Amino acid sequence: MCAHLMDAGHDVTVYNRTKEKASALLQKGAQWAASPALAAEGADAVFSIVGYPSDVESVYFGEDGILSRLSPGSVAIDMTTSSPELAKQIAEAAQARGAWALDAPVSGGDVGAQEARLAIMVGGDTNAYSAVIPLFEIMGKTISLMGPAGSGQHTKMANQIAIAGTMIGTVESLLYGRRAGLELDALIDVIGSGAAGSWSLNNLGRRIAKNDMEPGFMIMHYMKDMGIALEESRKMGISLPGLSLVESFYRAAVGRGMERNGTQALFQVLDELNAQRT
């Protein structure tokens, strides 16, 4: 995502907790900063994307955090899937400095990031959104301001809830097909072009067919997302039994040491559970 911004001609300063992970960008011409604060200093726009809400807090708050050096009139954009409440806190802290903050989580997986086809769901100030939409358009294809601060995160939770149900359907369908003796790629070719078609089936299903469990999105991170969604649903007083069921299968995956596998490894969990019953 950062490389796309550089390819479009933008000057970029980067920070990563592990410098080696930024080596490709540094070789491409990005400047290195020793802290989030120094990366933010003097920038018109600051993008962050990390793992967990606690990571978001660590890169935004404190003397080395983004907010300590965020310039008046600039925009901080957190693209982590995180807590809606934390997004509101960051927006309020940015406003106190005369700046803006947007929550802008994404969907589309590793392929969407590589091909600049991400869906970007944004929460925050309309003027801030208008200022940075040309940058969003470099990274994604479907971009929408969903409402005030926190709305981007709520939209991503709705996205993850839908994916949870779709993913259980995908792995059950492919497990059924394999046990019936069907060739999985041929199966996906047919049902993936009809009413059963989905991003999960047509992308992650292909990886399942090849027994490729390498992560486009790690199980441990999806567990985090489901946890946020379930917490928010409890605050709203609603029950999401389908999401709770899928979470239990992913917990079984973690128990099998699969937390760093891709979410398609849910197929292996269901396959093993069914093998135990026969």
**Are residues 129 and 187 both part of a single domain?**
no
Does one domain contain both 226 and 248? yes
What range defines the domain where residue 110 resides?
2-148
Residues 98 and 220 in one domain: no
Q: How many domains, the chain?
A: 2
Q: What is the pLDDT of residues 59-109, one digit of tens each?
A: 999 899 999 999 999 999 999 999 999 999 999 999 999 999 999 999 988
Residue spans of beta strands (DSSP E) within the chain: 13-14, 31-32, 45-48, 75-78, 100-103, 106-107, 118-123, 140-147
88/144 same-domain check: yes
Tens of pLDDT along the chain (278 residues) come to: 999 999 999 999 999 999 999 999 999 999 999 999 999 999 999 999 999 999 999 999 989 999 999 999 999 999 999 999 999 999 999 999 999 999 999 998 888 999 999 999 999 999 999 999 999 999 999 999 999 999 999 999 999 999 988 999 999 999 999 999 999 999 999 999 999 999 999 999 999 999 999 988 899 999 999 999 999 999 999 999 999 999 998 999 999 999 999 999 999 999 998 888 76
Closest to 226 measured CA to CA, from 206, 242, 211, 207: 242
Task: Please identify which residue in the block is written with the tokens 């358009």.
Answer: 137
Residue 156 has which token pair?
Answer: 């991503």
Last residue of a domain, one of 121, 148, 175: 148
How far, in Å, CA of 116 to CA of 139, rounded?
Answer: 4
CATH of the domain at 186: 1.10.1040.10
The residues that are catalytic are 156
Residues 20 and 134 in one domain: yes
**Listed residue (70, 146, 75, 165) closest to 106, CA to CA:** 146
Q: Exposed/middle/buried for 276, CB within 10 Å: 0-12, 13-18, 19+? A: exposed
User: Do 63 and 21 belong to one domain?
Assistant: yes
Q: Quick one: tokens of 254?
A: 């973690």
- 12 lies in the same domain as 82: yes
Domain termination residue (choose one: 148, 165, 182): 148
The structure's pTM equals: 0.91
What was the pLDDT predicted at 275?
Answer: 87
Q: Are residues 196 and 245 in the same domain?
A: yes
Token representation of residue 272: 């093993």
